[in-house]
Structure 1
């Protein structure tokens, strides 16, 4: 089972108000385990960067000015996600921006049915508790100390760990080891230390008791004709 953990960064909250996507980060999972394959692109939004958005992700209009347009990276993005399920934190937000960008260049949009929303999962599992990514990292003891600002790839990597915990732990299928790019299991070798057999000498009293017991048996099988 292939899934794509996905996150985006944008210039604001609403694509219908002219806000644009500026970064996409994706992490590939096979049978819920990361394969190491990722997709990461910065995108030129063809507009200014509001100060509020810059404070969130630190991506300036100057930094993004020489980055490709969404139309330039759309096909490679679609090829990477293929028909896989998308795992997204607050899926409606990211899907709305992705679909706005796809519609702008005349591409088919992505159905919401493809997305798993980890915010909804967290709120169902922990009613009343905070469901943001930082809070979930703290809950599951996932190190996010290097997350000083939002970043699409970093947040996808953290969300991949959070998602695995939300569905029951790092190895929900009771599979040992990790998976390679083709989905084959790479089992962790178990090192066993051979120990010499311990001697168990029969005491003289035990041998006598055994002989006395055998003598009481009537027609034991080992005394019959043909017995080994």
Structure 2
């Protein structure tokens, strides 16, 4: 499955009052592996950032003045995300800006070019109700270093969110312990490592007595012999 972790920086909080996107960062994940195939663009919003927004991202009007305008990178962005599952932290905020920018160009909304959207903020709140679930808080919770994050940046935040998402959705898919080794051709293959010794601990005498009492109660309940009798060492 192809997934794109996406973040934006903007001139302010509301696209309906004229705020614009000034940075887009995308990190590609394929089958739960970071590919290094990322998309990153600074954008000239043709207006100044609000003071509060500038304090967050630090991208000045002077710095952005020679960058491409959104319509000059929109088709490239659309091709990059086409058909992928999009992962965003607090998705309504970024999607409002992206949809607005696409609609300004007469294009279908941004979300119509993607397979679907995962909001990691919603997911984090389900996993950690009542806890802080900002990106910084999640980095701390999952042991992901964000010491280099002095200001918000779309690509940096996407890279951090990609690590958080993979940690947050990690599960055990096999009983063996797979070890990554580098193949001679430069790729990565999985090699199953040896299983440790399997310890079998027999039930103690008092545990067997208690087990028999439970089965006897079940027999009484069904007025016969319960199905568990054929699995019981006493049966």
TM-score range, shorter chain: 0.7 to 0.9
Query: Partner of 1:210 in structure 2?
Result: none
What is the CA-CA distance between 1:48 and the residue it aligns to?
A: 1.1
Deviation, 1:5, is 0.3
Matches within 5 A, 1:50-69: 50-69=50-69
For residues 144 and 66 of structure 2, the distance between their equivalents in structure 1, rounded to whole angstroms, comes to 34
Deviation at 1:110, TM superposition (A): 2.6
Can you list the C-alpha shifts for 1:188-217, whole angstroms capped at 9, x where unaligned? 67899xxxxxxxxxxxxxxxxxxxxxxxxx
Q: Does 1:100 align with 2:100?
A: yes
Deviations 1:30-65 (A, max 9, x none): 012111110000000011121111100000111001
Q: TM-score by structure 1 length?
A: 0.76
Equivalence for 1:163:
165
Distance in 1, matches of 2:103 and 2:179, equals 43
Match of 1:36 in 2: 36
Alignment match, 1:186: 188
Counterpart Cα distance in 1 of 2:169 and 2:41: 28
Q: How does 1:209-224 map to 2 (within 5 A)?
A: none
Q: Structure 1 residues 15 and 133 mapped into 2: Cα distance closer, same or farther (>3 Å)? A: same
2:143 matched residue in structure 1: 141
3-state SS of the aligned residue for 2:133?
A: coil
Give ranges in structure 2 of 5+ residues lacking alignment: 195-235
Q: Take 1:83 and 1:21, find their aligned partners in 2: how far apart are those partners?
A: 22
Indicate conservation of the 8 Å contact 2:44/2:67, yes or no: yes
| TM-score normalised over the length of structure 2 | 0.74
- SS at 1:155's partner residue? helix
Shift of 1:121: 0.5
Q: Which has the larger radius of gyration?
A: 1
Query: Between Structure 1 and Structure 2, how many residues are aligned?
Result: 186
Deviation (angstroms), 1:114: 1.6
Offset of residue 176 of structure 1: 5.1
Alignment match, 2:213:
none
Q: Distance in 2 between matches of 1:85 and 1:176?
A: 28
Give 1:24's aligned residue.
24
Q: CA distance change for structure 1 residues 125 and 190 in 2, over 3 Å: closer, same or farther?
A: closer
Residue pairs, 1:117-156, within 5 angstroms? 117-156=119-158
Where relative contact order (Cα < 8 A, 6+ residues apart) is larger, the structure is: 1
